[in-house]
A and B are shown apart, each in its own frame.
Chain A
Amino acid sequence: MTGTEKRDQGRSGYLIGLKWLIAAIAVGSSWSVLADWSALNMTQGVTEISREVYDLHMLIFGICVLIGVIVFGIMIWSMLVHRKSLGHEPATFSHSTKLEYAWTIIPIFILIGMAVPATSTLRDMYDSSNADIDIEVRGYQWKWQYTYLNDDPAQEVKFMSSLLTPPDEFYNRAPKREHYLSDVDNPLVIPINKRVRFLITSNDVIHSWWVPDFAVKKDAIPGFVHESWAVVEEPGIYRGKCTELCGKDHGFMPIVVKAVEQDEYENWLAMKQQEAKDVYETVGKTWSMAELMETGETVYAQHCQTCHQANGQGIPPAFPSLVGQGMAIGDLDAHVDIVVNGKAGSAMQAFAAQLNPAEIAAVVTYERNAWGNDVGDLVQPREVNALIVAKE
């Protein structure tokens, strides 16, 4: 091959390289115009912190893309031009101290550039002092419990929050509606522009409480209480998820937070406190079998069905059947006891912490008289209450 031939081949190599590069840029930019970013990117959220986190994310993302474009650009150029098929002869260099120093030291400066804003954001996130409201968030298999902490225990509002989407929707027997798997029966309600502190813990396995719009994600760990906080700036409904594998229904314990104006929040809280009082009074009255069965069915569907199943048959051996066998048709006291106190070391929780005595009485009665279990007896809320009080 003569010198000119070689040079010509070299030049056509560069031309091919250039053409490919232009094509790649064209495809890349038209794609980014078409894409709908909100469905593809992190949310900016509704708190100062969440926006800071978003900016940080975009900054690092930008730096990474830039590094990628430079490194891959050089590689691709080299692949298009330094080919044997184009007659390119291999060079013989195999190291360059200067270059090697450069690409060790320059990245260190880039990293420092990332670490500085990251550190300052993290400091802000970790400052959870001066809260206006404290809410305990407690993970259960597979629902959340929210307690509005109050110095006066009688004023304490406490409720469970679990998935609203009916099984028919996830088993494809009914059309999936908006907010499929993202709706709960009782959302957490908080006021806007107040510093709300979440005290996060768990009753059984590890869960993780994540609300992307607040940039809050904290593991709920049995035996630990971790803090996190948010000042929400806009009223609205914000949805989150459990993000630590916690067993069978890990994907079915969503989080919904409703942020409202201060006065709306106060009304809501007052209503909840009143409700708690009402419930307390109903415990005293004598319930009929029909009333117990009706309430029992609802309680069962909300709290027991995930494990023991709608038909009571359970999923043995993990979750026992309650039909025609065992405690549900056996001794009434033992039956009440396991629901009130749970069974240590198993998924069967102590429901006294989650349900009021009326609900416990109702669900026990329901189990004894549903699905062909015809025990025929019932238990009154006041008896259940006596049991709980005696224990305390």
Chain B
Amino acid sequence: MSAVIENHHDDHHHGPDKGLMRWVLTTNHKDIGTLYLWFSFAMFLVGGCMALVIRAELFQPGLQLVVPEFFNQMTTMHGLIMVFGAVMPAFVGLANWLVPMMIGAPDMALPRMNNYSFWILPFAFGMLLSTLFMEGGAPNFGWTFYAPLSTEYAPPSVTFFIFAVHLMGISSIMGSINVVVTILNLRAPGMRLMDMPLFVWTWLITAYLLIAVMPVLAGVVTMMLMDIHFGTAFFNAGGGGDPVLFQHVFWFFGHPEVYIMILPAFGVVSAIIPTFARKKLFGYDSMVYATASIAFLSFIVWAHHMFTVGMPIAGELYFMYATMLIAVPTGVKVFNWVATMWQGSMTFETPMLFAIAFVILFTIGGLSGLMLAIVPADFQYHDTYFVVAHFHYVLVPGSIFSIMAAAYYWLPKWTGNMYDETLGKTHFWLSFVGVNVTFFPQHFIGLAGMPRRYPDYALQFADWNMVSSVGAFIFGFSQLLFLFIVIKCVMGGKKATDEVWDGAEGLEWTIASPAPYHTFSTPPALPERATA
């Protein structure tokens, strides 16, 4: 309690600056968290609009709204913006807000660097988006940008794309170094690693993944840059290079990247389910070990994205077996969540609804992932809508639902006000229905033979594409409701208590709501450990 009183005192002398410069110059983890979250939401809407252009074009066969060149720009930019602009910054925003509060630290360990890593992003994405207005158009080679389509055959804007990726990489690396240093150095005295909340654990592991693979991404785009402008031939078969090398390097980054987008989600869900089940998280230790094993395995399975590039059979078999192994720790996580719910005393507020939907729909995405690991079957699934359905199931009702669950769960702590529960539930049900109507039929379209990244399709795919497009518009527009709910909550509403949720555990619930500008200037005394 003494910490809280002291904070009040502090506030008086050292509150936030006024006006715009507060946000430009801020080194406060809560301000930076807020910036990240709003930035990510803006990118979510931009990327979402692109998705709606795609779905509107695919509403029926024929080319109605856009030409194929522009369609390819939309699929490419949608992917890049959602991955690098929406999902990743949202998790960094959550880390900024929550990690210091969860471990009893006064701020992130490297506050000035924290400021830089955020403020790089608007420039990176400004540059990326500006390519839409350039001669020759924006990048049109897919978010996976396979060479030589992205080198010899790319539009001139590819150079700007490369620079933007470099900037995003720098931002991510700085952000993750900050997370690692904060977690390893600034925990409240007495908090052991195995006492940390799972969100902190998952972020610690994610940060290591980022530090390991963002340089690989930087490397691959630099090789592209060399090929395009400096006459090298890394990926140019005509010059003795190897286009498949590109894919190996890209996916060595790309596969850990997909776990970067899901591990923090595991942390969020592991915080929310126990609260609303009024029961301790089942199998904390195994959750930590499972997260670490998934992270490790993510480095040795990259070529399961490349089963059709003609690897020798030994390679195919190895990558198949290694990929199937990931099902084991992932299964452990799902079973642990179910066991946490089992025999609990559950209530179903909005965060819990999103968390439960996460468990179910992420599992569906995981199971279709297991199907994709089976090489002979993958030959039929690869690059069809089955894959599109698979990764949207793990990313939209996976990562994005977890981000929304987190927003509802911690909003009262951030703003001091309760959000509107009825509207929150409405938002949940609209999103839940929208997401499933959009992506479930895509499994069928894919199995029936429709490849991905097609601006137009044969008539037998018409019905389910129409259904999918309707779902996309439901999902897309319900996010405006989310925006409204968040703004309404920021503006006012029922006052939140300090604890907010009656079953919630963790240091963040011991401080005032809204969280004061500075918290834990003196480290908190930890509650008596309930002996392991």
Contacts and interface: CB of A to CB of B under 8 A. Distances in A.
Interface of A: 39-43, 52-53, 56-57, 60-61, 64, 67-68, 71-72, 74-75, 78-79, 82-85, 88-96, 99-100, 103-104, 107-108, 111, 114-115, 118-119, 121-123, 125-126, 141, 169-172, 176, 178-182, 204-206, 208, 210, 212, 215-219, 221-224, 226-227, 241-252, 315, 317-318, 344-347
B142 A245 contact: yes
A122 B384 CA distance: 20
B10 interface: no
Given A90-B278, A181-B458, A251-B68, A224 B310 contact: yes
B328 A215 contact: no
B313 A126 contact: yes
Contacts of A82: 277, 341-346
Interface in B469-519: none
> Which of the listed residues A42, A72, A242, A347 has the most CB atoms from chain B within 10 Å of its own CB?
A42
B434 to A, nearest CB: 20
Nearest to B277: A90
B377 A56 contact: yes
Contact of B63 (A41, A121, A170): A170
Q: Which 3 A-B pairs have the closest CB atoms?
A: A223-B237, A226-B310, A91-B343
B123 interface: no
Contacts of B69: 248, 315, 318
Given A170-B62, A205-B153, A103 B332 contact: yes
Contact of A78 (B155, B281, B342, B383): B342
A126 B308 CA distance: 12
B447 to A, nearest CB: 5
Contact of A115 (B63, B324, B338): B324
A251 B454 contact: yes
B371 A61 contact: yes
7 contacts: A71-B334, A83-B347, A95-B283, A104-B328, A119-B320, A205-B152, A317-B135
A52 B456 CA distance: 31
Interface in B444-470: 444, 447-449, 451-460, 463
B456 A71 contact: no
B317 A119 contact: yes
Contacts of B283: 94-96, 100
Interface of B: 61-64, 68-69, 72, 135-136, 140-142, 146, 148-149, 152-153, 155-156, 237-238, 241-244, 277-286, 308-310, 313, 316-317, 320-321, 324-325, 327-328, 331-332, 334-335, 338-339, 341-348, 356, 359-360, 363-364, 367-368, 370-371, 374-377, 379-380, 382-384, 444, 447-449, 451-460, 463
> Which of the listed residues B238, B341, B359, B376 has the most CB atoms from chain A within 10 Å of its own CB?
B376
A118 B152 contact: no
B327 A217 contact: no
Given A221-B237, A250-B68, 6 more contacts: A60-B370, A64-B370, A93-B282, A95-B286, A119-B317, A215-B380
Given A90-B279, A100-B286, A111-B328, A247 B458 contact: no
Interface of A is mostly: mixed
Given A245-B72, A245-B146, A108 B328 contact: yes
Given A53-B379, A71-B363, A208 B308 contact: yes
B455 to A, nearest CB: 5
Contacts of B242: 223
B205 to A, nearest CB: 19
Contact of A64 (B344, B359, B368, B457): B368
B281 A56 contact: no
A27 to B, nearest CB: 14
B291 to A, nearest CB: 14
A286 B139 CA distance: 47
B62 A176 contact: yes
B376 A53 contact: yes
A377 to B, nearest CB: 32
Contact of B374 (A56, A92, A208, A210): A56
A118 B453 contact: no
> Which of the listed residues B142, B284, B375 has the most CB atoms from chain A within 10 Å of its own CB?
B375
Contact of B454 (A57, A84, A247, A250): A250
B287 to A, nearest CB: 10
B63 to A, nearest CB: 5
Contacts of B384: 243
Contact of B149 (A67, A79, A119, A246): A246
